[in-house]
Amino acid sequence: AQKVTQAQTEISVVEKEDVTLDCVYETRDTTYYLFWYKQPPSGELVFLIRRNSFDEQNEISGRYSWNFQKSTSSFNFTITASQVVDSAVYFCALSEASQGAQKLVFGQGTRLTINP
């Protein structure tokens, strides 16, 4: 069965610090997809990134970067030089090809607070 674990329930840092959000997943599929979503205080869910299981390249987008390691079943998210606007709940999610690939299973989320 698919499962996503975000062990960090809450993280609080001071602005401009770097912060890494951990995501560990479980799946028996060889083809699967990993996602990160952001939920700011306004409540909507904002898509950040998608990764498939065959692409282990790390990705950088501005201050955001993602480290995908199949060997440790992890898909961690790093924010460099954090800003107050980064304060949100961040969700990691997984879908499996055998389940139709559209069925997202979310982790419990990490609440990130960036203090000025």
Of the residues 2, 8, 27, 33, which one makes contact with another protein according to CB under 8 A: 33
Site for another protein in 81-100 (CB under 8 A): 91, 95, 97, 100
d(C-alpha 16, C-alpha 3), whole Å:
32
Of the residues 16, 63, 70, 103, which one makes contact with another protein according to CB under 8 A: 103
Size of the site for another protein (CB under 8 A): 23
End-to-end C-alpha distance for the chain, whole angstroms = 41
Could you give the C-alpha distances from 84 to 15, 43, 97, in angstroms and in order?
A: 6, 16, 37
Burial 52-87 (b: 16+ CB within 10 A, else e): ebeeeeeeeeeebbbbbeeeebbbbbbbeebeeebb
Q: Which residue has the tokens 């990993």?
A: 34
Per rule CB under 8 A, is residue 3 in the interface with another protein? no
Residue whose CB is less far from another protein, 82 or 90: 90
Of the residues 50, 55, 56, 70, which one makes contact with another protein according to CB under 8 A: 50
Of the residues 25, 35, 66, 75, which one makes contact with another protein according to CB under 8 A: 35
> From the CB of 45, what's the least distance to another protein, in Å?
4
